[in-house]
Amino acid sequence: MRPHHAAPGQSDEWFTPPEIFEALGVTFDLDVAQPETGRAFLSVPCRRFLTISDNGLTSAWDGFIWMNPPFGVRNGVVPWLQRFMDHGNGIACVNALTSSGWFHDFAPYADALLFPRGKAKFVRPDGTRGNSPGNGVVLIGMGQQAVPSMARAQDQGLGMMATVKEREAA
């Protein structure tokens, strides 16, 4: 089986492994890209959510958000990351494609980056775990809640966190 992020045309309905949320230790106000199928196997601790039917790219976002956008389309993460950065308050889970242009366009504006150790084995809509994907993921944090929760996750052994140098005013 091909990894979830390298399977164009197949389902984007893959769920973030629960151990990521356990390490972060937070509840999100809004999940902006929650799957519509297999909901019994979701582990996102959130108060509200948007699905593809709600169109998370155009619906209103508020509060501390979780974003695990669709990985299936080449550069499909770009409009999601733009919206995430504009919102400025939450944690996003995206492919750790550190050589891609979009990574270099967005990562410098994050407050923190957390690179989980190993490769996250995402959960399928039927509750089974996917095979080891070709790439790891990175958690991109923005805002006052993101940095301490990501530091907690690092302390819990999830992975390595880097805070982005504070930018000087122009």
**pLDDT band for position 7 (50/70/90)?**
very low
What is the rounded average pLDDT of the residues 148-159?
Answer: 97
pLDDT at position 145 over 60: yes
Mean pLDDT of the chain, nearest integer: 86
pTM of the model: 0.87
Neighbouring-strand partners of residue 116: 159
pLDDT at position 156 over 80: yes
- CA count, 13 A, side-chain hemisphere, 136: 15
Percentage of the residues of the chain whose pLDDT score is greater than 70: 85
What is the rounded average pLDDT of the residues 120-125?
Answer: 83
Of 126, 102, 170, 144, nearest in space to 35 by CA: 126
Q: Are 147 and 112 in contact (CB under 8 A)?
A: yes
- Distance between CA atoms of 118 and 19, rounded to whole angstroms? 13
- Helix or strand (DSSP H, E) at 47: strand 46-49
- Distance between CA atoms of 125 and 128, rounded to whole angstroms? 8
What is the rounded average pLDDT of the residues 145-167?
Answer: 91
- The residue type at 101: G
